[in-house]
Amino acid sequence: MSFPQQEPVHYSTVTPEPTPRRFWFALSLSIFGVLLLGGAILAILTYQAGVREAIRVSESVAYEEFLQKKSALDTDTFYPGVFVDGIDLSGRTLAQAREQFQASLAEKAREVALTVRIDDQEIVLDAAAIGFADNSAAILEQAYQTGRTSAQTDERARVEDLFSQVELLKTQPLHLETALTYDSARTADAITAFVATQQVTAEAAVATAFEAETGVFTISERIIGRKTDPVEVVAKVLEHLHQGHYQAVVAIDSEKEIIGLSAAEIEAELGPLGSATTYAYKADPPRDNNLKLASDFINGTLLQPGETFSFNEVVGRRTAERGFKEAGVILNGALVKDLGGGVCQVTTTVMQAAMMSDYKLVERAPHSWPSSYTAVGLDATIDWFGPDFKFQNNTDFPLGIVASYEKPTLTVKIYGRKLDDGLTISLRSTKDETIPVDPPIYKSNSSLAPGQVVEIREGRIGQRATAYKVYSQNGKVVREEILFKSYYRPIQGIYEMGPTVKVAHPQPATSAAAGLSD
């Protein structure tokens, strides 16, 4: 079934045309709005211009103030309100202030006179010696930098900060003080050097010479030692300096040290002691020469306490260059000629004098057989390459030896610490044993004349002996002690014979040792 088409329905709205009254009202309202907006814009622009002008003026004033402050800070003198040691430095340059304080320091330095006295010796330490100074350079620099140092990095902020510091000085002045200083190490060095010159090593009085002709010792006076601890002195001086006492006097008494006796006390204890004499009667010029020479070497010998006398060291090697001659000496049990023969008699005499002076025996050896110039057991042999004779000065006093030989007398005297009053020492010996000797040995010698017999070595019986030291008080024996024992071995005789001839008993025609003496 179809339906008939219908035309669409159209609706329209028709605005009625405004009336004239409404038109003018609308127009007036629009104009007013425009005027109001324009006024607002004008007001805003005017305000902004005023603000800008105000800012400009403000900035101009602030910049002017900045320039004024900067100008006020721009000076090479101390700012007002800066004082050092009570001195107003305002208006002065740093150089001027330094010059003034240096002059003041120099004046103070002239007054430095610190005395260090040790006993009766002293040293005066001046300003240079103690490194006298002050810290005025640092203090002045600190004062000068007040108003010149800021942590601000921006220029205007920095100027404001510095200016504030300077202004603050007017109400709160800066007062700084300098301090005097000294160099501790330099002062200690000066004192230590002075103390070293006052140190004295103690020395005992000592014999420096012995005059054999008079028996008098030359004795140097003892030196009293003086010790001072430099650390103690330095500490006392630095304490005064720390307290600012630059004119103080530090007095120290050194520690005294005395060693031994005085020269006078030693001299009072010295005197003659043991004296021994032996004799050389036989005519023997070479031997006499040797006795005289050895005695001269020994004469005047000075032995200090504790020292040991050695015959070989004092007399020296017996050589022709030194003036010794050939004379009889014992060699391998036989008497032969050799340089220095006979000096054993000097050794023996020195030994006896030393033992009678009660000194300590160190080394002594007997001869091969007893010597003719002394009792058995009281001899002392000597050889450059063999035995020596030694004794020690075992006392606290010096000893001197006087030795002389004027034929036939050989004398040795000892000077030293005196024995107790009334005490004397003598020597004696005993022959304890005789030892038989074997029959002599005969040897053929074709170079000898028929029947000629030559004694090569004389046969001698052996012996044992003991030496004693005898102590007597006012002439009365109070004790004895064994000094040493001696053993003289048996010496078998030796002979050489020419071609055999019929004789009942061979007799020596000559002797190899003829005219010799040990």
Specify the residue for token string 């219908």. 6
Query: In terms of C-beta density within 10 A (0-12 exposed, 13-18 middle, 19 or more buried), how is residue 326 classed?
Result: middle
Q: Strand ranges (DSSP E) for 8-153?
A: 82-84, 87-88, 114-118, 121-125, 133-134
Q: How many domains does the chain have?
A: 1
Q: pLDDT value at position 505?
A: 54
Report how far residue 94's alpha carbon sits from residue 77's, in angstroms, rounded to the nearest whole number. 7
Tell me: pLDDT of 513 over 80: no
Helices vs strands, H then E, count in the chain = 11, 28
- Composition of the chain by helix, strand, coil, percent to 5: 35, 30, 35
pLDDT tens for each residue of 108-157: 999 999 999 999 999 999 999 999 999 999 999 999 999 999 999 999 99
Cα atoms found within 13 Å of the Cα of residue 343, Cβ hemisphere only: 29
What would the two tokens of residue 341 be? 């023969």
In a domain, 410, yes or no: yes
Query: How large is the average pLDDT for residues 403-414?
Result: 98
pLDDT tens for each residue of 353-368: 999 999 999 999 999 9
Report how far residue 248's alpha carbon sits from residue 112's, in angstroms, rounded to the nearest whole number. 9
In a domain, 324, yes or no: yes
Query: How large is the average pLDDT for residues 475-482?
Result: 96
**Closest by Cα among 322, 321, 408, 340 to 372:** 408
Q: pLDDT value at position 124?
A: 96
Rounded to a whole number of angstroms, the distance between the first and last alpha carbons of the chain is 198
In a domain, 320, yes or no: yes
**Closest by Cα among 367, 389, 362 to 377:** 367
Q: How confident is the model at residue 516 (pLDDT cuts 50, 70, 90)?
A: low
In a domain, 359, yes or no: yes
pLDDT tens for each residue of 222-257: 999 999 999 999 999 999 999 999 999 999 999 999
Q: What percent of the chain has pLDDT over 90?
A: 77
Letter string b/e over residues 329-342, b meaning 16 or more CB atoms within 10 A of that residue's CB: bbeebbbebebbbb
Cα atoms found within 13 Å of the Cα of residue 456, Cβ hemisphere only: 13
Q: How confident is the model at residue 329 (pLDDT cuts 50, 70, 90)?
A: confident
The single-letter DSSP state of residue 279 is: E
Q: What percent of the chain has pLDDT over 70?
A: 92
Write the DSSP string, 138-166: HHHHHHHHTTT--S--SHHHHHHHHHHHH
> What is the rounded radius of gyration, in angstroms, for the C-alpha atoms of the chain?
61
In a domain, 338, yes or no: yes
In a domain, 315, yes or no: yes
In a domain, 416, yes or no: yes
In a domain, 192, yes or no: no
Q: Do β-strands 462-473 and 423-435 pair in parallel, antiparallel, or remain unpaired? A: antiparallel
Q: pLDDT value at position 2?
A: 45
Report how far residue 74's alpha carbon sits from residue 91's, in angstroms, rounded to the nearest whole number. 12
Range of the domain at 325: 271-429+466-486
